[in-house]
Structure 1
Amino acid sequence: MCGRFALTASPDQIRALFQYEQQPNFPPRTNVSPTEPIAMVASDRGTRSFRLVRWGFIPSWVKDTKAFPLLINARGETLATKPAFRNAIRRRRCIVPADAFYEWKREGEGRAAHKQPYLIRRRDGRTMGLAGLWETYVSPDGGEIDTALIVTTGANGAMAAIHDRMPVILKPEQFDLWLDCANEDPGPALQLVRPCADDVIEMEPCDPRLPQPERRAAPAPRPSSPELPPREPVSASRKAGVGDAQGSLF
């Protein structure tokens, strides 16, 4: 599950890491929520492009979006078999930039039990590229909306202390393989669906007021929480991963 994340790197830093041609301008956000616009990087015949899309995947064949569940994540193990994802894993893979994500852990016993949110990020402070899928949904009245989700995998040893799932975190040298949909064979890309090494990430508890994501219905968009910044900023060259083949915050 990945139901909240942060993206605080500057547009120039994100562009340097993902190497797309557009020069978009977007604000830093520390609490990106489902149904809100998120940044996405895709590829068309080898040329990377930036888009803002709705976080909440809608397959093209859906007729009634109100009756369809909110898909913010997809289990990597089922991408090639579930009807909702079969076309997208072959033709519409993307990368979602993020600086950190949040997960909740039950702590305490009895009446003292509570859900404690944790902020999870790369130990080296760099921005990460999360594996994703996207789709353009066309409504019955002809309107179009680009939607996306984040692909998850089993937790690594470090993450397992909090949750049994985690986002698929791609290395920069893996970006091209994940984005390459030219031959519509998802097999090589699916080999990237695995947890990162334990020492790549670090975790720390954060403000317990962070709202948990809704799992069944689409929640109303929530504003970012300015009281939840991901730690101290790192230098622009380090955060963007410039000059380092491993670049990415996770």
Structure 2
Amino acid sequence: MCGRYTFTAPRDLVKERFGVSLPNDLFATYNAAPSQLLPVITNTTPDTVQLFQWGLLPAWVKDLKTAIKPINARAETLAEKPSFRQLLQRRRCLVLADSFYEWQAPSAGSKGPKKPYRILLQNEEPFAFAGLWDQWVNRDTGEVHPTFTIITTAPNSLMQPIHARMPVILPTREAEHMWLNDTASDQDYQGLLQPYVAEQMQAYTVSTEVNSPGNNSAACAAPFIWG
């Protein structure tokens, strides 16, 4: 599962790294959480960063009160779920980030809180999660609600001691371009949904400041030594 992440790169770096135009209301976040508006690049508008709500609301949903809004989609079962399979074919996106958080449960037989970790690349550069998106239209008002979910996969060797899942980080710019390319095959897309190379990543513990989605400061991402 991926339930929190960061995107703190300066605007100029984002523009250069992804080759896109940016909205004026794109701000750094140290604790991105579900239901927030967060930056994505879609396959239909690959030259622009847009802000979509995290938590997928499929176009076919009728009752918002009972709708499940998944924040993650398992790479291994995308083809088995009709809603995800259709989005894999026609609505893919890059979810912009520069790290993510995961919580390590106490070891068997021990007590204590879950320990939060920040996981990022060794070079600390921004990257993109593989995501799916959709848009729900309010039939009464015509208002459009664009949303997204992050695809997860099995953990690499860095993540295994921390958590049983990790988000799919697309490994190269070529992989990002393929993910947004509508002419690729389902097999090509599925081939990208692999664990990132562990040796190119790093992880360190952070404080429980990150536990609350109401906290959004550099303190969430700061190293913290647990006793």
1:136 and 2:135 aligned: yes
Matched ranges for 1:208-247 at <5 A = 208-211=208-211, 222-229=214-221
In the alignment, the residues of structure 1 paired with residue 43 and residue 148 of structure 2 have an alpha-carbon distance, to the nearest angstrom, of: 14
Q: C-alpha offsets along residues 139-193 of structure 1, whole Å, 9 cap, x if unaligned?
A: 232221110111111001111111111111112121111011246x322111100
| Preserved contact between residue 18 and residue 41 of structure 1 (Cα < 8 Å) | no
Matched ranges for 1:100-115 at <5 A = 100-107=99-106, 112-115=111-114
Letter in 1 for 2:104: K
| Preserved contact between residue 63 and residue 140 of structure 1 (Cα < 8 Å) | no
1:189 and 2:194 aligned: no
Indicate the residue corresponding to 1:84 in structure 2.
83
In the alignment, the residues of structure 1 paired with residue 215 and residue 205 of structure 2 have an alpha-carbon distance, to the nearest angstrom, of: 21
Matched residue of 2:125: which SS? coil
Normalised by the length of structure 1, the TM-score is 0.82
Structure 1 residue runs of 5 or longer lacking an equivalent are 213-220, 232-250
Alpha-carbon distance, 1:23 to partner: 5.4
1:176 and 2:177 aligned: yes
Q: Per chain length, whose mean CA-contact separation is higher, i.e. which structure has more relative contact order (CA < 8 Å, sep 6+)?
A: 1
Letter in 2 for 1:173: E
Structure 2 residue runs of 5 or longer lacking an equivalent are none
Q: C-alpha offsets along residues 26-60 of structure 1, whole Å, 9 cap, x if unaligned?
A: 22110011000110012338x43211000010111
1:53 and 2:45 aligned: no
In the alignment, the residues of structure 1 paired with residue 173 and residue 52 of structure 2 have an alpha-carbon distance, to the nearest angstrom, of: 22
| Preserved contact between residue 89 and residue 133 of structure 1 (Cα < 8 Å) | yes
In the alignment, the residues of structure 1 paired with residue 157 and residue 110 of structure 2 have an alpha-carbon distance, to the nearest angstrom, of: 29
Q: C-alpha offsets along residues 199-223 of structure 1, whole Å, 9 cap, x if unaligned?
A: 01111110024227xxxxxxxx635
In the alignment, the residues of structure 2 paired with residue 227 and residue 35 of structure 1 have an alpha-carbon distance, to the nearest angstrom, of: 22
Matched residue of 2:47: which SS? strand
Letter in 2 for 1:155: P
Change over 3 Å in CA distance of 1:206–1:25 after alignment to 2: same
Let me know the Cα RMSD of the aligned residues.
2.0
Alpha-carbon distance, 1:17 to partner: 1.1
Alpha-carbon distance, 1:22 to partner: 4.3
Indicate the residue corresponding to 1:72 in structure 2.
71
Indicate the residue corresponding to 1:10 in structure 2.
10
Normalised by the length of structure 2, the TM-score is 0.89
1:99 and 2:98 aligned: yes
Matched ranges for 1:145-160 at <5 A = 145-160=145-160
In the alignment, the residues of structure 2 paired with residue 222 and residue 209 of structure 1 have an alpha-carbon distance, to the nearest angstrom, of: 9
Give percent identity, aligned residues only: 34
| Preserved contact between residue 138 and residue 144 of structure 2 (Cα < 8 Å) | yes
Alpha-carbon distance, 1:68 to partner: 1.7
Q: C-alpha offsets along residues 103-129 of structure 1, whole Å, 9 cap, x if unaligned?
A: 001125667321110000001111111
Letter in 1 for 2:91: R
Matched residue of 1:67: which SS? coil
Letter in 2 for 1:69: I
In the alignment, the residues of structure 2 paired with residue 187 and residue 109 of structure 1 have an alpha-carbon distance, to the nearest angstrom, of: 39
